[in-house]
Structure 1
Amino acid sequence: MTAVSVDPGRPPARVDRRVRVQGEPVDGPYPPLAPEARRGSVRRITEVGEEVLHRPCREVTEFGTPELAALVDDLFLTMYVAEGCGLAANQVGVGLRLFVYDCPDEHGVRHVGHIVNPVLDQSAPATRRLIDDTEGCLSVPGAGMSVPRPDHTVARGYDQHGNPLVIEGTDYFARCLQHETDHLYGHLYLDRLSKRDRKDALRQMADRREAVFARRTKTAAELGR
């Protein structure tokens, strides 16, 4: 998911005053980039129209492997290079049910982590609302459109070692969890738009794509990658 506010290319400020990693609060300072990124390599981000983005991903059945750890590391670094707040495995061409995130919520809490084989809890709290807000996607570079989503969600899954996870999100972080889980079912946010809005998003992508790639190249260089 692209970190989108008014400007689809500019992420919301990352707030380090309070941080939750894998759903748990962290004591003391936390680095601007998750530690996994230091071990990662940058991978090419797939784009709308590529088959891997439009089919359901496979369940992860082997946990604790070097390959799975490397994929998590690479997803983190690739997400940061692309200035995103979430990235799913099929967005780097790997059709597995896994995504990473580094995303703020409306309380200024920064949520960092990964989740394997996530399933969204469909039970709705009485206070949950449907919110229209601008949404973008690293696989639809440069585009941003308004998408209605619930402002609260719970994702249940596992970490890369097979330990159970329950990740609760509100506001923008809830949107991120829903957006990335959609990817694992082979859906992009474009699929939630009217035909007219989808065409508008694709026009935005055509107009801004090269500028987005130039920014990613610059960010990679700044990170020494």
Structure 2
Amino acid sequence: MTVRPIRLFGDPVLKTVCDPVVDFDEGVRALVKDLLDSVQLPGRAGVAANQIGSTLRVFSYNVDGKIGYLINPRVVEVRGEKQPTGEGCLSVPGLWFDTPRHPWARAVGFDVDGNELEVQGEGTLAQALQHETDHLDGLLYLDRLEKPARREAMKQIRESDWF
């Protein structure tokens, strides 16, 4: 089992728009394995490739006992008005803010053999699909916060012992 260290806020890789996977090779298989190993630790709903230092467009998820991954994911459908939903991030440890998210989402992508996959769900799974896809687009959940909450988040980051 290879659990990779999580990159923290301030690391430029977290603001990088990830590159699509074009070669479904052993390197991608190894990345998927590391993402699946890394997401299985308690309290983790998802891990995006850039959170472990890769700039390929891949993430893993672990919600309600469902563990999986998507290569080249795209959120293709959302339902419901965005609602403030309590959210945190492994790359911004210790912070928790209400973040506007749709209550239902559907994402499509591929498996390691290049076969199309679809993941859809509500609640925490919908939130994870949106959150992890944001990571691959170079966004942190902090970027989705209203200005007062974002200011408070930045203050808490500056005062944290990890920053």
What's the TM-score, normalizing by structure 1? 0.66
**Root-mean-square deviation (Å):** 1.9
Which structure 2 residue ranges, 5 or more long, are not aligned?
none
2:105 to 134, 153, 174: 153
1:119 to 34, 50, 74: 74
Counterpart residue identity of residue 137, structure 2: Y
Which structure 1 residue ranges, 5 or more long, are not aligned?
1-39, 105-109, 211-225
Task: Tell me if the contact between 1:141 and 1:209 (Cα under 8 Å) persists in the aligned partners.
Answer: no
| Counterpart position of 2:63 | 103
Return the index of the structure with the highest Cα Rg: 1
1:87: how far off? 0.3
Task: Tell me if the contact between 1:82 and 1:138 (Cα under 8 Å) persists in the aligned partners.
Answer: no
Counterpart residue identity of residue 113, structure 1: G
2:84 is the alignment partner of 1:132: yes
| Counterpart position of 1:78 | 38
1:85: how far off? 0.9
| Counterpart position of 1:215 | none
Counterpart residue identity of residue 147, structure 2: K
Relative distance call for 1:119 and 1:49 in structure 2 (3 A) is same
1:58: how far off? 0.1
Distance in structure 2 (CA, Å) of the matches to 1:42 and 1:70: 12
Counterpart residue identity of residue 69, structure 2: H
Q: Aligned with 1:134: secondary structure? A: strand
Q: Aligned with 2:108: secondary structure? A: strand
1:194: how far off? 2.6
Distance in structure 2 (CA, Å) of the matches to 1:152 and 1:129: 9
| Counterpart position of 1:66 | 26
Identity level (%): 40
Distance in structure 2 (CA, Å) of the matches to 1:120 and 1:53: 19
What's the TM-score, normalizing by structure 2? 0.90
| Counterpart position of 1:165 | 117
Distance in structure 2 (CA, Å) of the matches to 1:208 and 1:85: 23
